[in-house]
């Protein structure tokens, strides 16, 4: 999801309050699979929408195709106010419904048969919530390009896709058979959607563009892009054969874009190495200029980084390496593997999306500039960690947790990588995650358990420490310079914290096995041993704090 934030914004977000949030009925209706949502499995969305730029309004119709998995008499449709639900049709009959804030409870006539397929047609219209500062503040975006032509899109991560179309607005239920998106716009504009263009129909000064995604897709990543676009294509020869690449930018920006977007094949080469094949060969890959900074819309990545390297020209790590590549191309495309291929059931576990994708920046840097560069970049991200509240949010109430999920999640993975101390194995874990959970939704425990099993070490306490507490583990130590003995233990940690410390120092592999609050000893007879440099290297590789104890 992604939400983007500069390091200072990440810090600001985490300093708001340590108090427990108060959740409303609306939060529960949105975040819980209640009895009106858990009896059906969405198979496909067919969305048709007509935006009216001058009135900032839309009208549309959405067909749900779903499989019945248990008996029920009511179905919850999510559609955020002030949009108006006009009617719901099932088997050519109008169904009655009651509106409750951002949902509607629709009454069926009889109970649909288990394992049968149902089709609902939902008509709606109105003035959708307008995004004030997208993508952080979501909604429909109404802008004009520099030539005065309309430029429209949507950003709705966190806020939810129901801000612009009626859906089952819960991350756990992706349409198994994908989605279609048809947009009717003035014939002076082009409308772009996810996947591939399947038809264009011109009529009376308008054009209707229909796009289709074959693969399962997150609700919030189905997005329209409408503007005075020009495009071009190329083919990338990847791990699964030829991958179609398409680029769309505003007419006035085409010259700048053609140079900047040459980074896309570079990104794909690095990420197919680290994560395995791009997950959506059937739908292709598109990079589309958007009227906001960017977002990980599946197979149709939103780009708004002004055709410059870094994050709007800045290096979030402060290491210098972040200015070598375009942050939005790398980060948002990394989400194709973590967020779009592997998606979490509950947004409380969004660290799986954001932590792995933020770490993809480190892996990209390492792939092209070497291991020390990657280490520098990852270490530099730590300045954005606030540790004001846990990374994992509250379940069942549409609460995505703390913004630390970006830099802290990346540093957790870097820490685990060094603890495993086998980069070949670590890479196989990343690839294995994308193969094992291919096009699936998961819980954090699925990911945690997979890493522990494949990494041949039980990382339960490590995950608990970094994801469920705000404590930075303290490597408490003393060093006897005469005897060359290091005494050490873990402090400020969960009971049983057992992170293994492995790294190379002075040409030798060092292995330390600290135990929480139980001092251990290790002899370092090498005369060249420098405790200060040793501790620096330790803190560089692991997200810990080393504290020297004084007698």
Q: What string of DSSP letters covers 36-84?
A: TTTTEEEEEEEEEEEEETTTTEEEEEEEEEEEE-S--SEEEEE--TTSE
pLDDT band at 33 (very low <50, low <70, confident <90, very high): very high
Measure the CA angle with vertex 65, ends 60 and 67; round to 5°. 155
Task: Please say if the pLDDT value at position 18 is more than 80.
Answer: no
Mean pLDDT across the chain, nearest whole number? 94
Lowest mean pLDDT among 223-232, 440-449, 453-462, 533-542: 533-542
pLDDT band at 20 (very low <50, low <70, confident <90, very high): low
- Sequence-ordered list of residues with C-beta below 8 angstroms from that of 178, at least 6 positions apart, any chain: 44, 195, 212, 213, 214, 215, 216, 217, 283
Alpha-carbon gap, residue 171 to 101, rounded angstroms? 20
Closest CA to 549 of 519, 509, 504: 519
Task: Please say if the pLDDT value at position 34 is more than 70.
Answer: yes
Give the pairing of strands 139-144 and 150-155: antiparallel
DSSP reduced 3-state for 346: coil
Task: Please say if the pLDDT value at position 1 is more than 60.
Answer: no
The kind and range of the H/E element at 269 are: helix 263-275
Alpha-carbon gap, residue 313 to 322, rounded angstroms? 9
Bridge partners of 510, per DSSP, are 503
Closest CA to 272 of 48, 427, 58, 386: 427
Handedness of CA 238, 244, 248, 253 (dihedral sign): positive
Percent of the chain with pLDDT over 70: 96
pLDDT given for residue 16 in this prediction: 40
pTM, full prediction: 0.95
pLDDT given for residue 19 in this prediction: 53
- Supply the DSSP symbol for 163: G
pLDDT given for residue 509 in this prediction: 85
pLDDT digits (tens, 9 = 90+) for 506-540: 778 889 999 899 999 999 888 788 999 999 999 99
Task: Please say if the pLDDT value at position 9 is more than 90.
Answer: no
Average pLDDT over residues 195-218: 97
- Domains of the chain are 39-226 (2.60.40.1730), 474-548 (no CATH)
pLDDT digits (tens, 9 = 90+) for 395-409: 999 999 899 999 999
Alpha-carbon gap, residue 181 to 197, rounded angstroms? 9
Average pLDDT over residues 339-354: 98
Whether omega before 13 lies within 30 degrees of 0, making that bond cis, reads: no
Average pLDDT over residues 416-433: 97
pLDDT band at 17 (very low <50, low <70, confident <90, very high): very low
DSSP reduced 3-state for 453: helix
Alpha-carbon gap, residue 419 to 466, rounded angstroms? 14
pLDDT given for residue 503 in this prediction: 81
Task: Please say if the pLDDT value at position 279 is more than 50.
Answer: yes
pLDDT band at 2 (very low <50, low <70, confident <90, very high): very low
Bridge partners of 451, per DSSP, are none
Average pLDDT over residues 128-139: 94
The residue length of the chain stands at 551
């Amino acid at each position: 999801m992604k939400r983007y934030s500069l390091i200072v914004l990440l810090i600001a977000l985490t300093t708001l309050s340590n108090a427990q949030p108060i959740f409303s009925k609306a939060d529960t209706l949105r975040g819980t699979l209640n009895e009106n949502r858990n009896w059906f499995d969405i198979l496909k969305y067919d969305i048709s929408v007509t935006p009216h730029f001058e009135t900032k309004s839309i009208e549309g119709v959405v067909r749900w195709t779903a499989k019945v998995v248990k008996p029920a008499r009511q179905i919850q449709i999510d559609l955020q106010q002030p949009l108006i639900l006009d009617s719901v049709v099932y088997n050519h009959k109008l169904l009655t419904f009651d509106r409750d804030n951002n949902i509607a409870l629709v009454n069926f006539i009889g109970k649909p048969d288990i394992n049968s397929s149902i089709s609902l047609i939902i008509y709606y219209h109105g003035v959708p919530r307008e995004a004030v500062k997208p993508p952080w503040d979501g909604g429909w975006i109404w802008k004009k390009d520099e030539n005065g032509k309309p430029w429209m899109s949507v950003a709705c991560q966190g806020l939810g896709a129901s801000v612009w179309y009626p859906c089952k607005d819960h991350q756990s239920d992706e349409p198994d058979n994908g989605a279609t998106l048809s947009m009717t716009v003035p014939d002076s504009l082009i409308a772009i959607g996810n996947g591939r263009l399947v038809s264009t129909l011109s009529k009376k000064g308008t054009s209707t563009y229909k796009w289709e995604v074959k693969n399962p897709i997150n609700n919030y990543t189905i997005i329209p892009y409408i503007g005075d676009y020009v495009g071009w294509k190329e083919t990338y020869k990847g791990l699964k054969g030829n991958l179609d690449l398409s680029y769309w930018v505003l007419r006035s920006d085409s010259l700048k874009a053609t140079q900047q977007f040459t980074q896309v094949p570079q990104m794909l080469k690095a990420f197919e190495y680290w994560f395995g094949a791009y997950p959506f060969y059937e739908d292709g890959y598109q990079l589309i200029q958007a009227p906001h900074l960017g977002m990980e819309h599946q197979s149709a990545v939103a780009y708004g980084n002004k055709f410059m390297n870094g994050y709007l020209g800045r290096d979030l790590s402060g290491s210098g390496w972040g200015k070598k590549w375009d942050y939005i191309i790398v980060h948002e495309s990394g989400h194709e593997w973590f967020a779009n291929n592997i998606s979490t059931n509950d947004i409380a576990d969004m660290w799986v999306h954001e932590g792995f994708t933020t770490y993809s920046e480190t892996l990209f840097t390492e792939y092209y500039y070497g291991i020390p560069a990657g280490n520098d970049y990852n270490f530099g991200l730590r300045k954005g960690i606030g540790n004001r509240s846990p990374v994992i949010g509250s379940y069942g109430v549409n609460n995505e947790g703390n913004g630390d999920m970006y830099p802290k999640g990346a540093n957790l993975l870097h820490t685990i990588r060094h603890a495993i101390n086998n980069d070949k194995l670590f890479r196989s874990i990343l690839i294995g995650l994308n193969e094992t959970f291919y096009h699936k939704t998961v819980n954090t425990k699925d990911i945690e358990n997979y890493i522990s099993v494949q990494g041949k070490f039980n990382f339960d306490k490590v995950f608990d420490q970094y994801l469920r507490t705000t404590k930075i583990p303290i490597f408490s130590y003393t060093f006897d310079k005469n005897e060359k003995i290091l005494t050490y233990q873990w402090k400020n940690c969960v009971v049983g914290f057992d992170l293994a410390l492995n790294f190379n120092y002075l040409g030798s592999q060092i292995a330390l096995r600290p135990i929480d609050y139980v001092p251990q000893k290790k002899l370092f007879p090498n005369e060249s041993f420098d405790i200060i440099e040793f501790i620096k290297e330790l803190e560089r590789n692991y997200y810990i704090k080393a504290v020297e104890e004084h007698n």
